[in-house]
Chain A
Amino acid sequence: MAMAFKMATMGMAVMEECKSSFMEMKTRRIHRYIVFKIDEGSRAVTVDKLGGPGEGYEDLAASLPADDCRYAVFDFDFVTVDNCQKSKIFFIAWSPSASRIRSKMLYATSKQGLRMVLDGVHYEVQATDPTEMGFDLILDRAK
């Protein structure tokens, strides 16, 4: 088994709230975004913050710390060129350069456990600074 996969699935627990919040976001659409964090002591991925349906991408970007890692999912609504209302869910691995290497390592090796629980993510983005998760980039990917 691949190293990171085994570490993420057997060395790290994903709290039930992560899955239930994601399901609420996907089916009932009551969250615009979810921010997840790792509690290293208890070795678990937990929900850090839920974004209300009225919030936007800027609110998510503002919720991510400048000096620590997080995972996030964002429900992106947009209208296609042929006037079709669409929704895509993005997964963002947030690893800002200013965060500690320990945090980067922890989040990078634990990602797959959470990703397996989040069934229904359309795109995945790795970001080390705000420009890498810019709105234009998301828009570009969703098209």
Chain B
Amino acid sequence: MYGGDEVSAIVIDLGSHTCKAGYAGEDAPKAVFPSVVGSIDQVGAVEDIKPERDSESMSDSKNGIRSLDSEKTKTKRKLYVGSQALGYRRDHMEVISPIRDGIVVDWDIVDNIWDHAFRERLLIDPKEHPMLLAEPSSNIPQQRERAAELMFENYKVPALFLAKNAVLTSFASGRATSLVVDSGGGSTTVAAVHDGFVLQKAVSASPIGGEFLSECMMRSLESKGIVLKPRYSFKRKEIRPGEFLSIDLDFPNTTESYRLYCQKLIASDIKECVCRAPDTAYDDSGYANIPMTPYELPDGQTIEIGADRFKVPDILFNPSLVQTIPGMESFVDIAAGRGLPQMVIESINKCDVDIRRELFSSILLAGGTASMQQLKERLEKDLMEEAPQAARVKVLASGNATERRFSVWIGGSILASLGSFQQMWFSKAEYEEHGVSYIQRKCP
């Protein structure tokens, strides 16, 4: 057993959009940065180029992962991690994600993200802190073992625990049984939790998350002739006191993925500022004459947003709306998907009859996209209309936006700081004695 009470544990929730990392026991993550990284292929370079790092000692521990990755030959590349490194435009820098459909496809990037969190953001030595990682509710065994191996071999952590996203959210709201609707950046997941266990058969996911909605917002604005200009692509000059002129700059070697990344940041901010879920299903005629809301773009230009304020969020409830947004027609699969209320009802119906009543009255809303105004009210209303008559529908969400957005991380933070949890750690000694597959027994 690992006696982890003396040093505080580190909690990491690596989502498909944002990485949240910080100290256990605190009520918000210290470091919040993108889960995507910038990458420049080092063509023609012969030197062994290591990802940009401050600490020298890191290159030694890097060797561990190199051997793990030896099966696939990778082109040499330089990675840029963190909002600051990504905020600076570089020629030929592509923006890539380590996660696809909720599964890690590039562990080298994950390694770099963890390293960035430990050494540049939290300024800790991972050898000294137990680590609690939040994982997707239907994480597969191979992925869990890979994560454990990386943590023990590369970072020499003293102890590790993997906890499921939905379980953390559920416990953080005081419930051992609940239906967790986690709408994050990359996807929306609905999972039933019973007595602290995720019921795997009742987990469903949709690719509609904040990122997708931001893209819809951006395309819809483009179709109206509004181009979102990233900060790097223009210069503002003060022509008279208080009066600015923006001059376009040309950087032909900027990658398409980087431009899109920057545009989506703007679209995401627009979305967070002006969007709200409509009270009833969106239709063009009903929203044709609603008042416009102004928004000032980074280049100083003020745009007016009307029906899109409501139409974009409604995609969560009615994915087929995607087809009506110019430039998004190709997302046929997403458009054919189910809306949020249907996902919830289907998930609950896959559970045992005895617990359905309780699930209907304990629907927990979590994640960044769930902070959208009126989303909770709309979901509750739609569910009341569609749920069985006897069910008492209750959608719960923290009134505090930070708690809603970081519910998974906060759950992990509190869990790892409880005295009764300390016996739960998968220690380095146990790893060395039983091997990596023991993680499946220690963290079921």
Which A positions have Cβ atoms within 8 angstroms of B?
A: 1-8, 10-12, 40, 43, 69, 93, 95, 97, 99, 101-112, 126, 128, 132, 137
Contacts and interface: CB of A to CB of B under 8 A. Distances in A.
B214 interface: no
Interface residues of B, number: 37
Interface of B: 27, 163, 167, 170-177, 195-197, 358, 361-362, 392, 394, 396, 398-399, 403, 410-411, 414-415, 417-424, 443-444
Contacts of A43: 419-420
Contacts of B167: 3
Count chain B CB atoms within 10 A of each CB in A40, A43, A110, A111 and give the residue with the most: A111
9 contacts: A4-B171, A7-B423, A11-B423, A93-B176, A105-B174, A108-B173, A112-B176, A126-B177, A132-B361
B321 to A, nearest CB: 33
Contacts of B411: 101, 105
Given A5-B196, A105-B174, A11 B163 contact: no
A97 to B, nearest CB: 8
Nearest to A98: B399
A109 to B, nearest CB: 6
Nearest to B27: A101
B121 to A, nearest CB: 23
Given A3-B163, A102-B414, A110 B173 contact: no
Given A3-B196, A11-B424, A109-B176, 11 more contacts: A3-B424, A7-B420, A11-B419, A11-B421, A93-B175, A99-B174, A105-B174, A126-B176, A126-B358, A128-B175, A132-B361
A101 B175 contact: no
Looking at chain A's contact residues, the main secondary structure is helix
Contacts of A108: 170-171, 173-176, 196
Contact of B174 (A4, A6, A7, A104): A104
A127 to B, nearest CB: 9
A101 B196 contact: no
A111 B396 CA distance: 21
Contact of A4 (B195, B361, B362, B398): B195
B352 to A, nearest CB: 15
B176 A111 contact: yes
A102 B411 CA distance: 9
